[in-house]
Amino acid sequence: MAAIQDSTFVKLCAQLASRLSISLASARRQVDQAAAQEGKRDLEGRRAMAQSMLDSLEGGDEDSANRLTSLLSASEEDCNFMLED
């Protein structure tokens, strides 16, 4: 049987996943890895890590928009690649 999950932590991870356009599992994995690197393995530490990651994304809206635009633009060698049929 799966363990009961903390709803606040799941909500923070869901917001992070939404902002990064990744799955909830990937967002949780990123938070868990970042928290483990700082030695925070308890639930409160992981919540704080998820919140700090969200806060860092809030401050960099224009930077992330520019990064997405650069990722979506085609480079010279990819200009003949068809995205749709």
The CA–CA distances, whole Å, from 13 to 7, 33, 45, 78 equal 10, 13, 13, 34
Alpha-carbon Rg for the chain, nearest whole angstrom, is: 17
Q: What is the pLDDT of residues 9-58, one digit of tens each?
A: 999 999 988 888 889 998 899 999 989 999 988 999 999 999 988 888 87
pLDDT value at 72 more than 50:
yes
Q: Which residue has the tokens 């480079």?
A: 75
Category of 10 on φ-ψ map: left (φ > 0), alpha (ψ -120 to 50) or beta: alpha
Question: What's the confidence (pLDDT) of residue 71?
Answer: 61
pTM over 0.85: no
Distance from C-alpha of 56 to C-alpha of 53, rounded to nearest angstrom: 5
